[in-house]
A and B are shown apart, each in its own frame.
Chain A
Amino acid sequence: MTARIFTGIEDKLGLDKFKAFHKPHLTLEKKDVDQKKLVEEKLFICPAKVYTLNDKNEMVISFENCLECGTCRVVCPEEIGWEYPMGGHGVTYRFG
């Protein structure tokens, strides 16, 4: 049997165990910023592809997919509000 091979982030996230909390732990702090530019020029780097654009070029934050690495904090310290998810929630690594 040949194993499935996932190359895309969305599929890879499906391997992980998440427990979503209803309240987002990631927020857009600067509402007046060009969201398209922010995603395309900076937040493209997110290894979990949490930040995407909808068809109106507004930023969508899929915080429930967050791997809690902090890369977005480093590239957007002003624009993105970042806190840890509620205790016991978010990603739970089984290997790590």
Chain B
Amino acid sequence: MSEDKFDVIIVGGGPAGLAAAFVLAKAGKQVIVLERGEYCGSKNVFGGILFTGILEKLIPDYLKDAPLERNVTRRGFSLLTPTGELGGGFKFDKFNTAPFNNSFTTLRAKFDNWFAGKAEEAGAMIITGATVDDFLYDTDGKIKGVKARMDDGDILGDVVILADGVNSLLAKKIKLHKELDPKYTIVAVKEIIQLTEEKVADRFHLNGNEGAALEYFGCAAKGAVGAGFVYTNKDTISIGLGASIKSLMEHKLNPNDALEYFKNHPAIAPLIRGGEQREYSAHLIPDGGYDHISKLFTDNVLVAGDAAGFVNNTLFHEGTNLAMQSGVSAAETVIEAGTRKDFSAASLSVYKTKLEESFVLRDLKQFRKTTDALDANPQLFEKYPKMLEELVSELFTPDGEPKWDKEMKLMGKLLKQESPWGLIKTALAMRRVII
């Protein structure tokens, strides 16, 4: 391919890379996507909710044929205690009509492959089975393309967009990203469990194509700093668990053991009972937030999606929409720089401005303290859930004792286990996580 020169080379065929490819191809740019998997999506894993706000702007009629599982009408948030849960959530019927709250349970192997087809239709060239190991440099040391591990793998282009995922070896190679820090990286493991459509609907109180997304905090990860999830697909369940690598190391806990603990928890086991396992997957999630994103651009290079660290790991659990928005912003930046015929860092710096103005960096900035707050309060993952279970279960056990006496007794018990200052400090830290 060395005789061809592309306007843009995109490394990685996930939501960020494909959104960029779609926008660039629509604008008439010669764009090539290099995907290392057998097909786009074959290496990609997420929890399971696709947020489609950005997709809808790109492909307004995506609901016609996008391979989505269920539209999420019910979201649950539970604190797992040692033997039960304290939960809440919401379910709104208005989420049941278009645009369906822009939230759909999805399987990435199917969705990313579909999205790649759309980018191809728009005019992008997509090459699968192409692992990119390095850049190509001109005599001045300027990046002029990439080196893919294949015959004729030297590919030339004006700009390279790195959308190669959380491990982005390429962003690290050119020092845009530091090595991942165990404290700011989550390892998540997930299983796909086969039920039937009817069982999924009955078990999760769903009508028609409605879906449920249930998040579990507290002692989901066997005491480690982590959380679990259960999402309903059409006739399967996506069940998984993510935990901070630092915390798993401290607990000497393998992620699969944490997942098994979660799956066997009395509040979770009935949800997947009788199901047949279909797939087991593992993936990293960047969890550093605003203060640990990569440098976003340099001469002739932009970074998007997980490669840049764009994941909002709060209650909202958003990733794919940040990825797509960053892909769109990267594409727009390249188009603007193209009119100036200038792909230097100075010319590409508008990418950062675009993201700072969008929800991507505004949301990450708002929740920039989340990971530190959780890391600094490990009692949220074992001690507090245990205390809560004790207090609530005793309070709700009528045994002839007047409520006032009971409440005073429980208050005494609580203060024996934790100081008022400790409780206040934790509550204040949690405010950073939620609002």
**Shortest distance between the CB of B431 and any CB in chain A (Å):** 29
Beyond A87-B148, A95-B281, list 19 extra A-B contacts (CB 8 Å).
A4-B277, A7-B260, A44-B254, A45-B245, A45-B255, A47-B256, A69-B187, A71-B187, A71-B255, A74-B180, A74-B181, A86-B131, A93-B43, A95-B109, A95-B278, A96-B45, A96-B108, A96-B112, A96-B279
Which A residues lie within 8 Å of B44 (CB)? Answer: 93, 96
Which B residues lie within 8 Å of A7 (CB)? Answer: 260
A91 within 8 A of partner (CB): yes
List which A53-69 residues lie within 8 A (CB) of chain B.
67-69
Are B284 and A69 closer than 8 Å at their CB atoms?
yes
B365 within 8 A of partner (CB): no
Closest to A74 in B: B180
Q: Which of B33-41, B58-66, B204-212, B389-397 contacts A (4 or more CB under 8 A)?
A: B33-41
Are B180 and A47 closer than 8 Å at their CB atoms?
no
**Shortest distance between the CB of B325 and any CB in chain A (Å):** 21
B130 within 8 A of partner (CB): yes
A33 within 8 A of partner (CB): no
Closest to B253 in A: A45
B409 within 8 A of partner (CB): no
CA gap between A96 and B245 in the complex, in Å: 21
Are A47 and B149 closer than 8 Å at their CB atoms?
no
B141 within 8 A of partner (CB): no
**Max chain B Cβ within 10 angstroms of own Cβ: one of A2, A12, A42, A86:** A12
**Max chain A Cβ within 10 angstroms of own Cβ: one of B42, B108, B181, B282:** B282
CA gap between A48 and B281 in the complex, in Å: 9
Size class of the A contact interface (CB-based, 8 Å)? 35 or more
**Max chain A Cβ within 10 angstroms of own Cβ: one of B46, B187, B192:** B187
State whether A73 and B274 are in contact (beta carbons under 8 Å apart), knowing that A87-B128, A96-B109 are contacts in the complex.
no
Partner of A75, one of B108, B148, B182, B281: B182
B189 within 8 A of partner (CB): yes
Are A93 and B279 closer than 8 Å at their CB atoms?
yes
Chain B interface residue count, CB cutoff 8 Å, equals: 56
**Max chain B Cβ within 10 angstroms of own Cβ: one of A2, A44, A93:** A93
Partner of B276, one of A4, A12, A45: A4
State whether A70 and B254 are in contact (beta carbons under 8 Å apart), knowing that A84-B36, A87-B150 are contacts in the complex.
no
Are A75 and B249 closer than 8 Å at their CB atoms?
yes
B410 within 8 A of partner (CB): no
Partner of A73, one of B36, B180, B236: B180
CA gap between A93 and B42 in the complex, in Å: 5
CA gap between A68 and B43 in the complex, in Å: 8
Closest to A90 in B: B43
CA gap between A46 and B255 in the complex, in Å: 8
Are B256 and A9 closer than 8 Å at their CB atoms?
yes
**Shortest distance between the CB of A10 and any CB in chain B (Å):** 10
Query: Beta-carbon contacts of B111-137 to A below 8 Å, as 1s and 0s?
Result: 010000000000000001111010000
List which B278-314 residues lie within 8 A (CB) of chain A.
278-284
Which B residues lie within 8 Å of A44 (CB)? Answer: 252, 254
Are B279 and A15 closer than 8 Å at their CB atoms?
yes
A94 within 8 A of partner (CB): yes
Which A residues lie within 8 Å of B249 (CB)? Answer: 42, 45, 75
Partner of A87, one of B131, B166, B192, B236: B131
List which A1-47 residues lie within 8 A (CB) of chain B.
2-9, 12-13, 15-16, 19, 42, 44-47
Which B residues lie within 8 Å of A87 (CB)? Answer: 36-37, 128-131, 148-150
State whether A74 and B185 are in contact (beta carbons under 8 Å apart), knowing that A47-B254, A91-B43 are contacts in the complex.
yes
